[in-house]
């Protein structure tokens, strides 16, 4: 009985917690927030109806309570206090802004200059007219700015928008153990602006450094054994610094340690794990004494190019070489 009571009590606690969570989510979804969709799309108001100084000053100006009351004094007459437009204003009478597009203090931005140049609020505030509530979805990020600047041939130097940030000043993320961590950060597909290497560096920066100092994990074991496994599992990472010629230049003189006399078994299909597609020059990298594929014997006179060679060869008839999947007629005319 005690065990049953304990489980019933636990279930009751979970049920109460679930109700509280559902209620909190419902209240969050039903929160009283300003809707551009309602005012712009449905009511047909213009941006300057609420942002009165947007077209004449560097501050766009936020809605004023007395301006809202021109309509809401009647609309809100029978609403509870928390659902009236006055709930959107603080004790000082200022509109409670979400600041979805707030900029750092060191960013230089003149709102009036952009309004004059672009002439359309929607060009920067994309989708604002259908937005039901101010949130991060209507924010403007650096990509939006740089894309617009590129289209309008605006200088892309850091000093165009920043008073502090620049290529001569390392971001805060470049402190502490950055030398060890920068490789992983450079491979992130969508890093923060401060960690986008290409803003300050080009590929020659990486090459000039790593030609003198290899990554820390490129030790003796990695050079002799570990790099082959890494290349098979994550070749894209290797390709960040190396191309296929890097492998060829080394293995023309050094045979992999696992390439013993019996390496790969009778059909040598192991080659495909690294060397695919195989080509005449690719095989000769390691098999220097192997005759050229172009010296393959001709087909019997009763064979024609339309035949399916693999229907017989490789099943009932043995092959004298690895089948790399290419067209047999390339070597056997």
20-60 tens-digit pLDDT: 444 444 444 457 788 888 899 998 998 888 888 888 888 88
Q: Does residue 102 fall inside a structural domain? A: yes
Is residue 268 included in any domain, yes or no? no
Q: Could you give the CA distance from residue 84 to residue 77 in angstroms, rounded to a whole number?
A: 8
Asked if residue 19 has pLDDT above 60, the reply is no
pLDDT of residue 269: 61
Same domain, 145 and 50: yes
Q: What is the pTM of this model?
A: 0.51
- Are 156 and 42 in a shared domain? yes
pLDDT digits (tens, 9 = 90+) for 203-232: 777 877 877 777 878 888 888 878 888 887
Average pLDDT value for the chain: 76
Q: Which of 187, 221, 255 is the last residue of a domain?
A: 255
Say if residue 262's pLDDT is above 80: no
- Say if residue 144 is in the same domain as residue 45: yes
Q: At 294, is the pLDDT very low, low, confident or very high (cuts 50, 70, 90)?
A: low
Does 240 fall in a domain?
yes
Q: Is residue 17 part of a domain?
A: no
From 211, 226, 255, the end of a domain falls on 255
Flag whether 146 is in a domain: yes
154 is in which domain, residue-wise?
36-62+97-160
Residue 42 shares a structural domain with residue 130? yes
314: left (phi over 0), alpha (psi -120 to 50) or beta: left
Pick from 225, 255, 285: which residue ends a domain? Answer: 255
Residues 150 and 101 both lie in one domain: yes
Same domain for 113 and 208: no
How much is the average pLDDT of 156-161? 83
67 in any annotated domain: no
Domain-located, residue 25: no
Same domain for 124 and 237, yes or no, is no
pLDDT tier at 92 (50, 70, 90 boundaries)? confident
Q: Which of 21-35, 61-75, 246-260 has the lowest mean pLDDT?
A: 21-35
| Co-location of 50 and 103 in the same domain | yes
144 and 206 both lie in a single domain = no
Same domain, 123 and 50: yes
Task: Count structural domains, the chain.
Answer: 2
Q: Based on the domain organization, do 114 and 211 belong to the same domain?
A: no
**46 & 107 share domain:** yes
Q: Indicate if the pLDDT at residue 279 is higher than 60.
A: no
Within-domain flag for 305: no
């Amino acid at each position: 009985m005690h065990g049953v009571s304990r489980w019933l009590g636990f279930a009751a606690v979970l049920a109460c917690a679930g109700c509280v969570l559902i209620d909190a989510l419902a209240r969050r979804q039903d929160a009283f927030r300003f809707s551009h969709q309602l005012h712009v799309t449905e009511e047909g108001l213009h941006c300057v109806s609420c942002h009165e100084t947007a077209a004449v000053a560097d501050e766009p100006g936020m809605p004023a309570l007395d301006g809202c009351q021109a309509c809401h004094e009647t609309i809100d007459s029978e609403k509870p206090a928390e659902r009236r437009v006055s709930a959107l204003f603080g004790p000082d009478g200022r509109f409670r802004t979400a600041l979805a597009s707030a900029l750092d203090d060191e960013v230089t931005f003149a709102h009036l200059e952009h309004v004059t140049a672009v002439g359309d609020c929607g060009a920067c505030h994309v989708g604002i007219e259908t937005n039901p509530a101010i949130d991060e979805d209507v924010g403007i990020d650096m990509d939006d700015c740089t894309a617009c600047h590129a289209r309008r041939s605006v200088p892309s130097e850091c000093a165009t928008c920043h008073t502090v940030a620049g290529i001569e000043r390392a971001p805060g993320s470049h402190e502490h153990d950055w030398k060890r961590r920068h490789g992983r950060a450079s491979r992130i597909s969508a890093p923060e602006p401060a960690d986008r290497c290409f803003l300050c560096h080009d590929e020659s920066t990486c090459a000039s450094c790593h030609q003198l100092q290899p990554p820390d994990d490129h030790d003796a074991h990695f050079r002799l054994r570990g790099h082959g496994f890494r290349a098979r599992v994550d070749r894209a990472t290797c390709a960040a610094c190396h191309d296929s010629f890097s492998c060829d230049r080394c293995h023309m003189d050094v045979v992999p340690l696992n390439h013993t006399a019996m390496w790969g078994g009778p059909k040598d299909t192991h080659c495909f794990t690294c060397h695919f597609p195989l080509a005449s020059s690719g095989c000769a990298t390691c098999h220097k004494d192997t005759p050229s594929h172009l010296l393959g014997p001709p087909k019997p006179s009763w064979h024609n190019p339309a035949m399916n060679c693999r229907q017989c060869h490789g099943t009932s008839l043995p092959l004298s070489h690895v089948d790399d999947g290419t067209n047999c007629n390339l070597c056997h005319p």
